[in-house]
Amino acid sequence: MKNKLNAIDLFAGCGGLSKGFIDAGFNIIVGVDNDQAALNTFEKNHNGAIALNADLSAQETFDEIKRIADGKEIDVIIAGPPCQGFSLSGPRNFDDERNKLYLAVIEIVRQYRPKGFIIENVPGMATLYKGQIKDEILKRFRNMGYNIGCKILCAADYGVPQMRKRLIFMGIREDIGSPYFPQPTFTSDNYRTCRDAISDLPSRVDEIGEEVSTYTSEPKTEYQKLMRKNMNILYNHVATKHTKLVKDTIALVPEGGNYKDLPEGWGESRKFNEAWTRYDGNKPSKTIDTGHRNHFHYKYNRVPTIRENARLQSFPDDFIFTGTKTQQNRQVGNAVPPLLGEALGNVLKSIIGEK
């Protein structure tokens, strides 16, 4: 740990971003959130990092992070703050109470003066109020002495079998250097697909499975080998028990199709863009959601299991999710894909340099 750069993860959730930073060679000191179920998963999977359930808008939380850091220098801050308040308060009310969680990240960077930071958010934030929110964030960090840039990145470009886009802010302290973003390692010609990701996992057609089970086949792709590591026990691969109506309805949707492919009179309860979507096995998945049951397996008449969604998010099989199934779905769906996090971590490490 002595030669590793130290990082803290704010609004950590279950820790997808910080998992990527661990794989890039960082030492994660603490993950902060107010979702205890997600923090339980975080603590189980992050090499001894402390999970702190706290309010990030409170000064006491800053003090507690310092106590946990115990004199270690905090080199990097990574964060995924919610930005719902901005859509209500507008650019002229940036300091509105409803934006306090985003403002807390700015304040923590001001207090700790890390060498660099990453903030991730939804792509729509880039154009909210014609970009005025984004521009205000950039201005505030520049006024604090950081070179900062932002860019929308697609996870599939970095080996994640999912078309997930995130807005990434990267800041580097002026005395250290300037930010740049990782070059894509995959293109639309060779994106990893749903089939690449999950075709080795048991079908769960005749039984829903258990939280702890076993593999029934060897890995079939390079990505599956990467995800399995040295595991011989399979966690979190439990199928949802659907009604006959749901199974009969999705059976009528072809691979890659959605509600528009259903015969008249079928699936009337769900008629919106993502309804009755069956993945295309030969393409990356759509953005993994938090368990709304609108996306179905490319082959089987059921929604993906937690483990299948985790694979599509690039969580390795030794990353074990805890809590209820609803909590696990939320943890997976809200996470930053670890492979995207690793790509960002590697770039930050190159800019900042090893100690």
Q: Are the C-beta atoms of residues 106 and 146 closer than 8 Å to each other?
A: no
Six token digits for residue 12 = 């950590």
For residue 249, CA distances in Å to 244, 254, 300, 303 come to: 8, 11, 12, 13
**Which is the catalytic residue, given 83, 150, 154, 194?**
83
| Amino acid in position 201 | L
Q: What's the CA gap between 161 and 58, in Å, rounded? A: 38
194 catalytic residue (yes or no): no
For residue 188, CA distances in Å to 181, 283, 299 come to: 19, 9, 22
Measured in whole angstroms, the distance separating CA 12 from the mean position of its chain's CA atoms is: 9
For residue 153, CA distances in Å to 122, 169, 313 come to: 10, 10, 15
254 secondary structure, DSSP code: P
Six token digits for residue 140 = 């505030």
Catalytic residue numbers read: 83
